[in-house]
Amino acid sequence: MNLRINLVTFTSVLSTRESVFTDHKQLVELLNANYDVNYIFPEELSPTLQLGNDPTMVFVASGGVEEAVKANIDRLPSYVLLIADGLKNSLAASLEILSWMRQAGRNGRVLHGDINYIERGIADYVAANTAACKIKGMRVGVIGKPSGWLIASNVDYDAARQRWGVEMIDVALDEVLKRYEATPDEPALPIAEAFIANAAAVKEPPKAEVVKAARLYLAVKGVCEEHQLNALTLNCFDLIPTTRSTGCLALALLNQNGIPAGCEGDEQTLLTMLAAQVATGEPCFMANPSMILDNEQRRIILAHCTIAPSMTDRYIIRDHYESSSGVAIEGVIDPMEMTIVKCGGQKLDRYFISEAQLTACGDNPNMCRTQFHLQLKEPLDYFLQRSIGNHHVIVRGNHRALLETLLRTLGASPIS
C-alpha cells in the first residue's frame, strides 16, 4: 500500500480542477503511481481540516495563484515545498511565492526540474517528514554537564522542544558512577571478548582495561534504559579521574545498537547525530576538525577517539589519546562518499552540510585515534570563519539532499 501524502493544489480561476489532472498528466501519473495522493484545493483548507502526520506539499499548477497561497500560508506546513513542473506559468508563480515567503520569514523551496529530479525531491521530502515525525517525542539525555571547553555547544531546551519536539533530560553523572561501581566483571567479560575478537589489532590497552570499558558501557546503557532515553551525550572526561576508564567503547556500542550517543556533553552535535541516524538509518561519527591539509583543494582531517565498529571496515583497539588511558577505537574505512553535517545555534536554527570524499584514514600519534582525511565539496573557509562549534557529524554515503530537507523541515537555515 502506497504512503499517503497531501497535495495542496493551487490553480488560477481560469482553470478547472479537472484541467489540473490533464494539463499536468506526467507529474500527476508519477505521484499517483508512488503515493496515495490526497488532492486538497484551497477552498477545502478550513481550520478544522486535519492533515495529521502525512507529508503535505504545495502543487503550484498555474500562474495567478500567488495571492491564494499568501492568503492560506498559515494553514500550510512551516516548511513549504512548492512543486512546479513549469507548465501553465507554474515556475514563475512559484518563484514569486518563494520570494514573498522569504520576506515573511517562512522557510521553503521550489522543486522544479526534469521529472526524475522532481521524483527524487518528493521522495526526500517524504523521508524527511517521516524522520521529523519519528524524532518528535524522543527523550534526549544530557548525562553530566557539558565539558567546560564547550562554550558554544549548548541548546535552548525550550527551542529543542518547540522546533524538534524532543524532551531534553538532565541526568547526574553520579548515576553512571554508581552503576559502574556496582557492575562486576562477569557480565562485561563476553562484551569485551567479542570486541577484542573482532578487532584487526590491539595496541596499548590490556584485556583488563577493555573489561573496565565494557563495565562502563553496561552502566551507561542501564542509565539510558532507566530514563527511557532515545539518545544521549555523556561528559566522558569527568568519568576518567574516578573510573580510570573512558567512555569511548560505551558510546561506540550504543551508536552501533541504534542509540545516538555523543561525547563531552555536546548537545548540538548529539541532536545532529540523532537527526542523521533517524533519517538515514546509519550510525554517525562525531569528530573534531583537526587539521586543514589543503585549503584550495578543500582537504581536511576530522578525528575523534570513538566510532561505532559497524561503521568501519576494520578497527584497532587503542588507548584514549588525551589521557593515555582506558580504551579508544581507531576506525578504518576504505575510500568512499560521505556527508558531513552540523545543526547548531542555541535554537538549532543554523546548519552546515557538505558532500565529502573519504580519501584515507590516518594514524598521526598527535591526534585522536580515528582520523578521516576528507575532501569536501564546500569551501573550508566555513570552518575558519563561520563554523558552528568544533564537533561535526559524519555519515557514510551521500545524504545531502535528505538531511538538508530534514533540517529545513525542523526550522534551520543554511549558515551564511
Give the mean model confidence (pLDDT) for residues 90-97: 97
Q: Strand pairing of 392-396 and 285-294?
A: antiparallel
Residue-wise pLDDT for 230-255, tens only, equals 999 998 778 777 878 888 999 999 99
Q: How far apart are CA 55 and CA 3, in angstroms?
A: 9
| Mean pLDDT value of segment 83-95 | 95
Convert the pLDDT of each residue in 168-208 to its tens digit. Answer: 999 999 999 999 999 999 999 999 999 999 999 999 999 99
Does one domain contain both 124 and 166?
no
Contact between residue 377 and residue 252 where contact means Cβ atoms under 8 Å apart: no
Last residue of a domain, one of 87, 104, 135: 135
Are 131 and 205 part of one and the same domain?
Answer: no
Enumerate the β-bridge partners of residue 4.
36
Rounded mean pLDDT of 59-88?
A: 93
Q: What is the pLDDT of residue 332?
A: 97
What gap in Å lies between CA 92 and CA 63, rounded to an integer? Answer: 7
Range of the domain at 166: 139-414
Residue 49 is predicted with a pLDDT of 62
Identify whether residues 192 and 299 lie together within a single domain: yes
**64 and 172 share a domain?**
no
Q: What is the CATH number of the domain that holds 38?
A: 3.40.50.10940
Could you write out the DSSP letters of every residue in 72-100?
TGGGS-SEEEEE--SGGGHHHHHHHHHHH
The string of pLDDT tens digits covering residues 367-380 is 999 999 999 999 99
Residue, of 221 and 323, whose pLDDT is higher? 221
Average pLDDT of the residues in 328-355 = 96
* One domain, residues 121 and 146: no
For 24-45, the pLDDT digits (tens) are 999 999 999 999 999 999 888 7
pLDDT at 150: 61
Residue 109 sits in the same domain as residue 60: yes
Residue 381 has pLDDT above 80, yes or no: yes
